[in-house]
């Protein structure tokens, strides 16, 4: 009997991914911070809810939620999204 023999199929990859990915907010309601932009009635939140985002650049230091917010917007909106990281592309 192997170490993982008792895992149910639903406990597979989704529960073994990195903790940060498993705990990442998935909705605007779960997203913490940036209330000056994302509180109900604020312009950015309204654009996201109405699927009116045309283009957006998220800028800031590491760890402030740029990637998480981008994932949330991508899930809510029906537009075409291009994921781009200046760090990974070698831009200095």
> Is residue 16 domain-resident?
yes
pLDDT of 8 reads 63
> Is residue 44 domain-resident?
yes
Range of the domain at 20: 9-89
Contact predicate 76/49, CB 8 Å: yes
User: What is the total count of domains within the chain?
Assistant: 1
**Residue 1 confidence class, pLDDT cut points 50, 70, 90:** low
> Is residue 64 domain-resident?
yes
The CATH number of the domain where 78 resides is what?
Answer: 3.40.50.300
> Is residue 83 domain-resident?
yes
> Is residue 1 domain-resident?
no
pTM of the model: 0.72
Name the average pLDDT for the chain. 85
pLDDT of 11 reads 52
- Rounded Cα gap, residues 28 and 69, in angstroms: 8
Summarize pLDDT for 22-48 with one digit per residue, the tens.
999 999 999 999 999 999 999 999 999
């Amino acid at each position: 009997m192997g170490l993982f023999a008792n895992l149910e199929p639903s406990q597979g990859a989704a529960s073994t991914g990195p903790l940060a990915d498993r705990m990442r907010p998935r909705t605007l309601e779960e997203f913490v911070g940036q209330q000056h932009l994302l509180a109900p009635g604020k312009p950015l939140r309204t654009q996201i809810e109405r699927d009116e985002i045309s283009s957006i650049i998220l800028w800031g230091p590491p760890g402030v939620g740029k990637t998480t917010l981008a994932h949330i917007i991508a899930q809510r909106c029906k537009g075409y999204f291009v994921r781009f990281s200046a760090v990974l592309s070698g831009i200095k």
